[in-house]
């Protein structure tokens, strides 16, 4: 059985993952309103990814005999000054999520909860990718914003589709 402190911390993380989905959906709405449909599609895929992350945590708590308790999700921002600001915010948000995952790992180690420590390694690796992707895109958008190349980047980003691999679904 999983320690109650770990269950509480993971329940808080489920809320944070759902908030992440909410904020990315809000970013998608703003980008779409700006006529950046490709970037909006990228954010919608990001939304689905965050829901997938929440679901993995949800299932893990249930598998370990804990109880998932959902709480209210804070409303996300709805306005940004530019597409650059959107992606810089996304990068900052991913850094925040990384810090939360690291705190969960620290707690699992403190509790000598080897199963949760192992489970969380997937998220540690995932956050390296998330931070790299969002920081790279933020830099690219910053470089091309206000130029004709913005449309090319928008089209390129519109090709993203969230499809979890078989190994991701199994973990």
Span 96-133, pLDDT tens digits: 999 999 999 999 999 999 999 999 999 999 999 999 99
For residue 61, pLDDT over 80 is answered with yes
For residue 137, pLDDT over 80 is answered with yes
How many angstroms separate the CA atoms of 8 and 104, rounded?
A: 11
Span 13-44, pLDDT tens digits: 999 999 999 999 999 999 999 999 999 999 99
pLDDT, residue 170, reads: 52
Among 126, 116, 140, smallest CA distance to 168 is for: 126
Q: For the whole model, what pTM was predicted?
A: 0.91
Domains of the chain from N-terminus onward: 4-166 (1.20.1260.10)
**Residue 169 vs residue 59, higher pLDDT:** 59
Compute the average pLDDT of residues 46-63: 97
Instruction: Provide the 3-class DSSP secondary structure of residue 161.
Output: coil
């Amino acid at each position: 059985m999983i320690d109650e402190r770990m269950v509480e911390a993971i329940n808080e993380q489920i809320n944070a993952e759902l908030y992440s989905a909410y904020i990315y959906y809000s970013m998608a709405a703003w980008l779409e309103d700006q006529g950046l449909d490709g970037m909006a599609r990228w954010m919608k895929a990001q939304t689905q990814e965050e829901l997938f992350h929440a679901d993995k945590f949800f299932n893990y708590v249930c598998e370990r005999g804990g109880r998932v308790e959902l709480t209210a999700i804070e409303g996300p921002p709805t306005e940004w000054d530019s597409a650059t600001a959107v992606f810089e915010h996304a990068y900052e948000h991913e850094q925040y999520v990384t810090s939360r995952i690291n705190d969960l790992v620290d707690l699992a180690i403190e509790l000598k909860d080897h199963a949760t420590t192992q489970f969380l390694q997937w998220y540690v690796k995932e956050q390296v990718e998330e931070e790299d992707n969002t920081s790279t895109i933020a830099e690219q958008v910053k470089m091309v914003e206000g130029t004709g190349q913005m449309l090319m980047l928008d089209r390129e980003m519109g090709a993203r589709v969230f499809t979890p691999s078989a190994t991701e679904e199994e973990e």
